[in-house]
Amino acid sequence: MPARLFLSSGDLVADRRFDFARDLQLKGDLVAAADLLAQATELAPGFASAWFTLGEIRERLGEREAAIEAFRKAQVADPEDRHGASLQLMLLGAERLSAMPQAYVRALFDQYAPKFEAALVDDLGYRGPALLFKGVLAARRAVRKPAFFKRAIDLGCGTGLAATTFAKQVDHFIGIDLSPRMIEKARLTGLYGRLEVTDMLEGLRGRPDASADLVLAADAMVYLADLGPVLQEVKRVLVPGGLVAFTAETHGGDGVILGEGLRYAHGAPYVRASIREAGLILAQFEELSARNEDNAPVPGLVLVAAKT
Ligand SMILES: C[S@@+](CC[C@H](N)C(=O)[O-])C[C@H]1O[C@@H](n2cnc3c(N)ncnc32)[C@H](O)[C@@H]1O
């Protein structure tokens, strides 16, 4: 996991209280840690990291209402919500399901970037790009077309693992990602003609109609609550006959839920409906997992859809 985000309070004494509290938290003395964090927030009421950590500890202690209050204070202290307090509030059922704060995603992956590939590929057995590759080949085979594409867009491109997998299939890659550090890594692959640090929906909106033959999103839709707007933009930027291929995490029911791992899981009926409502035609649908968690495959889907 990436290093924990810390936003200084600007008050040395409060920051020191926070450090001690973290030590105590890691040693399992949650009550003493909560006490120190409460002191830190008294000294520095706008101390987002202390409020957020206090929220986590209150929750572990079973103090739901106090946890909610602390997470709300963390949101007020950092309106961009780099810690993702709103996600904790969603998990606690105190806020309805909504989009992930962009600043949280950016902070998470900026911290993750240096060890991302080792953590994902080696530790979690990540296989998203390989699954997309198989799905795209199968979709092309089914319509008797070669799997070569002039222009591809890689949504949530990260360090460039999908472009690496598709390198021989694609002439020109555009990578879009919220995290500047992940984009720096992607640039080092030399595989992208263009890289944009932006939200994937915004990035797609900046592309002309019918300007891409293939759109990929490997392990990126798990950070979107609502797949509809992105799939609609994907349809607009694809040429007729173009493909979109993406992985998703899923669950037994319908609709969208936020998992404990702070990634959205999309029910299969919801994903099918989103593809249909975007005006795309489902070409491949497989129940396959892109990664493991606790040494078990996370339930997943691999989807390929076409624009007619
Ligand atoms: C788990 S990584 C996967 C990276 C890459 N696709 C791969 O297969 O290795 C998810 C990436 O999606 C990016 N991301 C998440 N939400 C995003 C959004 N709304 N717009 C653009 N990028 C996003 C993150 O910054 C991160 O780099």
pLDDT in tens, 69-107: 999 999 999 999 999 999 999 999 999 999 999 999 999
CB of 105 sitting under 6 A from ligand 1: yes
The pLDDT assigned to 39 comes to 97
Query: Over 60: is that where the pLDDT of 121 sits?
Result: yes
Report the atom number in ligand 1 closest to the C-alpha of 154: 6
3-state secondary structure of 80: coil
Cα-to-centroid distance, 86 and ligand 1 (Å): 19
Q: What percent of the chain has pLDDT over 90?
A: 94
3-state secondary structure of 186: helix
Query: Over 60: is that where the pLDDT of 2 sits?
Result: no
Express each pLDDT in 258-301 by its tens digit.
998 999 999 999 999 999 999 999 999 999 999 999 889 999 99
CB of 248 sitting under 6 A from ligand 1: no
CA 160 to CA 169: how far, in whole Å? 15
Query: Over 90: is that where the pLDDT of 37 sits?
Result: yes
The pLDDT assigned to 123 comes to 81
How many degrees, rounded to 5, is the angle at CA 199 between CA 133 and CA 93? 95
Nearest CA to ligand 1 atom 8: 218
Query: Over 80: is that where the pLDDT of 144 sits?
Result: yes
CA 61 to CA 18: how far, in whole Å? 18
Query: Over 80: is that where the pLDDT of 54 sits?
Result: yes
Query: Which tokens is 60 given?
Result: 């572990």
- Which of 108, 109, 298 for mutating ligand 1's site (highest number of atoms within 8 Å of CB)? 109
Query: How would residue 122 be classed by pLDDT, with cut points 50, 70 and 90?
Result: confident
- Give φ, ψ of 169 to 5 degrees: -95, -15
**Kind of pairing between the strands at 238-249 and 300-306:** antiparallel
Helix axes 268-277, 228-237, angle to 10 degrees: 40
Nearest CA to ligand 1 atom 19: 199
Cα-to-centroid distance, 28 and ligand 1 (Å): 33
**Residue 221 is which amino acid?**
M
3-state secondary structure of 297: strand
The pLDDT assigned to 221 comes to 98
CA 130 to CA 288: how far, in whole Å? 11
| Length of the chain in terms of residues written | 308
- Which of 177, 183, 198, 293 for mutating ligand 1's site (highest number of atoms within 8 Å of CB)? 177
Express each pLDDT in 213-232 by its tens digit.
999 999 999 999 999 999 99
**Residue 258 is which amino acid?**
L
CB of 153 sitting under 6 A from ligand 1: no
Query: Over 90: is that where the pLDDT of 3 sits?
Result: no
CB of 34 sitting under 6 A from ligand 1: no
| HSE-up (13 A, CA, CB side) for residue 6 | 10
What does the mean pLDDT of the chain come to?
A: 96
Query: Over 80: is that where the pLDDT of 134 sits?
Result: yes
Cα-to-centroid distance, 282 and ligand 1 (Å): 23
- What is the average per-residue pLDDT within 118-144? 93
Nearest CA to ligand 1 atom 1: 219
Query: Which tokens is 251 given?
Result: 């669950």
CB of 249 sitting under 6 A from ligand 1: no
